[in-house]
Amino acid sequence: QVQLVESGGGSVQAGGSLKLSCVASGSTFSLHYMAWFRQAPGKTRTGVASIRIAGRETSYTESVQGRFTISLDNRKRTVYLEMDSLKPEDTAMYYCAAVTTDRNIRARHALLEFAYNAWGQGTQVTVSS
């Protein structure tokens, strides 16, 4: 099993930046993908960015491309989400997710909730206008 703990959320004005961190523990040797999802009040949870552990390939949802960057420090078992040029519509609870190699997910599923089998508790990001 993999456990995930997020940090780095907070409140910022539009145009500002935040950096989220997610530390993985447990069976991290079997990690396949890690990702960030977000859920705004009254909306479903959606994928924001993902990274494949072995090859570091990344994917982003269209609304954050060019503003958000996902990265991985494998030694620290930590995935980051750097968020620049934040907009009020980025306000949401942000969740870290991970999936292990036994799931063998496809790249096209990397931003889909059903693909992941480990979740953090979430960290709140609030962007004011």
**Token reading at 55:** 């090859």
Beta bridge partners of 128: 13
Residue 45: the pLDDT is 97
Summarize pLDDT for 10-65 with one digit per residue, the tens: 999 999 999 999 999 998 888 999 999 999 999 999 999 999 999 899 999 999 99
Summarize pLDDT for 117-128 with one digit per residue, the tens: 999 999 999 999
* The 18-26 sheet, strands edge to edge: 2-7, 18-26, 78-83, 68-73
- Work out whether the CA dihedral 60, 100, 71, 56 comes out positive or negative: negative
Residue 29: the pLDDT is 87
pLDDT band at 95 (very low <50, low <70, confident <90, very high): very high
Question: Cβ contacts of residue 106 below 8 Å, gap of 6+?
Answer: none
